Chain A
Amino acid sequence: MKTSAKRGHRSRIALVNAVPVTLFLLVLFVYPIVGVLSLSLEGDTGGFTLHWYTDALSGVNLSVLISTLRISAETAVLSLLVGFGLAHAIARMRPVFAALAMLIVVVPHFISALVRTYGWIIMLGEHGLINTLLTSVDAPGAPYSLLYNETGVVIGTTSVMLPYTVLILQGVMRGVDRRLLAAAAGFGAGRLTIFRRVYLPLVAPGVGTAGLLSFILCLGYYITPALMGGDKQTVVAALIDQQVMKQDQWNSAAAFGVILLLLTFAGLGVLGLAKLRRTKAHARRSSS
């Protein structure tokens, strides 16, 4: 009796408490996004049209979309490689150093991306720190042009995405049962074989999640490409900003927004499906 009364009370309290956030997000998050969707399908004089989408997927606009996808992919791959190396090293450090390293990973995440991007601009310029160093050691071809091109954008964006990949990979690597690796070694497997056949399959889900997530987060990212890219390195988010602020082309901006949204949903869908498959496989294994 008493427990069921408590339960009824609990679901009433939960319902009442869920109201503010639900209302808030429906009005200021869901409704505005529906507004973007409907604007993207609306002709100049009202009525339904797909004109803004065909416009977004042709000519210069299409090339902006493709270069956004390319920069996102490059950033995702680079932050995976760098993040894997760092997370792997942290997993083997002594606890004090590991804690210090994690601090250097996490603190920048909370410092404005604008500020970090500005730091990169100062560092990567023709007379910046990196080029000065490279010239002083007589690196072939130095100074390099590292700023206002795609190289600069990818370097800057990678440093913004890196904390995410390191944290995800760090979590997965901590979860690996080290006894499996020792067992493989006991059976005579070499270091490379153990890495390839045992370790990598165990961390693969985390690698996939980290890569896809940095790709998704890059798609709509703007600050670093806008400040570190050249005139040609426009990304979709920058285009949307220009169209709204300077050209009053809201419909076109909305169509680009919906395209970004769809790409994000596709990425999240892949993540969700992979997780579902793992859960099912896990359930099968534990039931048999």
Chain B
Amino acid sequence: MMELPATRAGNVARAVSATAILLFLAMPIVIILVTSFGADGIGTFPPKEYSTRWYEQMAAPGGNWATSIALSSLVAALTTVFSLILGVTAATALARGRLPLHAAVYGLVLAPLLIPQVVIALGLFLFFEPAGMLGSPLAIALGHTVLAAPIAILIMISTLRGIDERLEDAAASMGASRMTIARRITFPLATPGLIAAAVFSFITSFDEFFIAQFMSTPDTRTLPVLVFNALQFDVDPTVTAVSAVLIALAVVALALVALVRKLGGHRHEQQGVLPVEPLT
């Protein structure tokens, strides 16, 4: 309400409460980052002494943590490939074409983001268990794709909508073939969106807990499953270092997306990043 005269007391109250809420959001993350460098046995804040021993323990080759980081990376890489294939094709159909049953396909694509994940996880468990595929990285990745593909599709839809189709028409009028247009015009313009879709698919899978929990076996536990077990049953201080690495991964991923968008000259608002947007 900029037009109304603001009272000083109102301004102060608003600034204080906004700061408090922002601290509420940021504090847990700051606490983890600091605690991970603590030398104490269990997560205490602030630490009395600082060291990198938990990071060394996490990276120890052949250990539980290193194994599950490798598994999570493999699963996330597979998920990224699957989601990009589905993302590019589905977005082409939904953003560019005149698709019969457009609303039905769009609804189907959004549904996995709104249905409780535990139900999806249970369904996938019932699907893969009889096939003896529990614990298979391929099966976990296929499960993760159910959640990651919709996000990739939303990002690709907004990317394709942001590309001026007249550029493609102009190329066609000058005699460029469809392949040439796709390769020389559409693909370069869509690259920032593709990278964003890939990054978000990767972190969606790397951070996913529910599906991985239902589809894992004791020998094949992804990183979030291992973190969850460590937090629930035994407090292994290595978890702080692992958590700090997960934070760094998310920040690097977001910075990468922001950088690519800036270089790609995308001025329009970031879209399709949070699954809630189509609802509003």
User: Chain A: residues with CB nearer than 8 A to chain B?
Assistant: 7, 10-11, 13-22, 24-26, 28-33, 35-36, 39, 82, 85-86, 88-90, 92-93, 101, 104-123, 127-129, 159, 162-164, 167-168, 171-172, 178-179, 181-182, 185, 191, 194-195, 199, 206, 209, 213, 216, 219-220, 222-223, 226-227, 236-237, 240-241, 244-245, 250, 253-254, 257-258, 260-261, 264, 268, 271
A167 contacts B276, C-beta separation under 8 Å: yes
**A114 contacts which chain B residues (CB < 8 A)?**
207, 209, 224, 227-228, 231, 243, 246
B43 contacts A122, C-beta separation under 8 Å: yes
B97 contacts A13, C-beta separation under 8 Å: yes
A33 contacts B119, C-beta separation under 8 Å: yes
**Of A17, A129, A159, which is within 8 A of B92 by CB?**
A17
**B251 contacts which chain A residues (CB < 8 A)?**
107, 111
Given contacts A159-B28, A257-B119, contact A21 B153 (CB under 8 A): yes
A21 contacts B89, C-beta separation under 8 Å: yes
- Tell me the minimal C-beta distance from B47 to chain A in angstroms: 11
B90 contacts A21, C-beta separation under 8 Å: yes
Given contacts A10-B98, A11-B99, contact A227 B231 (CB under 8 A): yes
**B35 contacts which chain A residues (CB < 8 A)?**
122
Closest 6 CB pairs of A and B: A14-B97, A220-B116, A119-B28, A32-B123, A89-B18, A182-B3
**A29 contacts which chain B residues (CB < 8 A)?**
108, 111-112, 120, 123, 146
**A119 CA to B43 CA, complexed, in Å:** 10
**B109 contacts which chain A residues (CB < 8 A)?**
21, 25
Task: Give the number of residues in B that approach A within 8 Å (Cβ atoms).
Answer: 86
Segment touching A, from B19-27, B52-60, B183-191: B19-27
Asked whether any CB of chain A lies closer than 8 Å to the CB of B203, the reply is yes
B14 contacts A222, C-beta separation under 8 Å: no
**A32 CA to B118 CA, complexed, in Å:** 12
A36 contacts B126, C-beta separation under 8 Å: yes
**A110 CA to B105 CA, complexed, in Å:** 27
**Of B15, B29, B86, B115, which is within 8 A of A261 by CB?**
B115
**Of A10, A18, A32, A194, which is within 8 A of B127 by CB?**
A32
A92 contacts B26, C-beta separation under 8 Å: no
B126 contacts A223, C-beta separation under 8 Å: no
**A253 CA to B126 CA, complexed, in Å:** 11
**Of A20, A116, A219, which is within 8 A of B90 by CB?**
A20
A82 contacts B117, C-beta separation under 8 Å: no
A/B interface sample: 11 pairs, CB < 8 A: A29-B111, A32-B126, A35-B127, A112-B224, A114-B227, A115-B243, A115-B246, A178-B1, A185-B4, A250-B126, A271-B279
**B224 contacts which chain A residues (CB < 8 A)?**
112, 114
**Of A110, A172, A241, which is within 8 A of B118 by CB?**
A241
Please name the residue on chain B nearest to A121 by beta carbon.
B231
A237 contacts B118, C-beta separation under 8 Å: yes
